[in-house]
Chains A and B, each alone.
Chain A
Amino acid sequence: KQEVTQIPAALSVPEGENLVLNCSFTDSAIYNLQWFRQDPGKGLTSLLLIQSSQREQTSGRLNASLDKSSGRSTLYIAASQPGDSATYLCAVSGFFTGGGNKLTFGTGTQLKVEL
């Protein structure tokens, strides 16, 4: 059974700091890994998708890396802003018979960026 863990569980940083969020998974047989952002009481916003054959994806101030063999991904946020405050979730997409993608989510990192 796939298990996904995120470290740290919570993080508070001053504005402007660069930061790294970590995600680890136990089963390397994945299609892809997706990073999401969730604001309190809201749905999930997709940030980045990394295919299992890729090592890195970038979008604006966000950069995500994937090391499938070691079961690790990192999300790098440059020049953090108060608007980045949210919970960040990683999710791995696994193989299974039938149809659709089965996402297994990590435990999340709650980020607070202070002025």
Chain B
Amino acid sequence: DTEVTQTPKHLVMGMTNKKSLKCEQHMGHRAMYWYKQKAKKPPELMFVYSYEKLSINESVPSRFSPECPNSSLLNLHLHALQPEDSALYLCASSQKQGSLNTEAFFGQGTRLTVV
């Protein structure tokens, strides 16, 4: 099973709302990632968790708050977002940190629209 599951698939939220994106994998991977992808652009890394600890924050605004409750789950908490935050949010996981054969697996994404 090489599946990364993201919920919800679509989300529309107002600028004053609080919402959460969820990501789950059962491949035993110990590294999990959040990427943001704008239309017609490549994905951009936001956060990396390794062994449930935050190892990279790519200078993401504090209105995005990641959480890794356990090795299978990754959340992204959203608060006071702006319309320019509308994008496809992708979750990924990989088996090991920094090794030659580490393959990243991506979920289907959450299409977020901020109104």
A25 to B33, CA, bound (A): 22
Q: Is the CB of A107 within 8 A of B48?
A: no
Does residue B59 face the partner (Cβ distance < 8 Å to A)? Answer: no
Given A44-B90, A107-B42, A98-B109 contact (CB < 8 Å) = no
Q: Is the CB of A89 within 8 A of B42?
A: yes
Report A67-114 residues with CB < 8 Å from chain B CB. 89, 91, 93, 95-96, 98-108
Most buried by A among B31, B48, B99, B104: B104
Using a CB–CB distance below 8 Å, which chain A residues touch chain B? 31-32, 34, 36, 41-46, 49, 51-53, 89, 91, 93, 95-96, 98-108
30 chain-A/chain-B pairs, Cβ below 8 angstroms: A31-B98, A31-B100, A34-B103, A36-B106, A41-B111, A42-B108, A43-B6, A44-B92, A44-B106, A51-B100, A51-B101, A89-B43, A93-B102, A95-B98, A96-B56, A96-B98, A98-B50, A98-B55, A98-B56, A99-B31, A99-B48, A99-B50, A99-B55, A100-B31, A100-B56, A101-B98, A101-B102, A101-B104, A103-B33, A108-B42
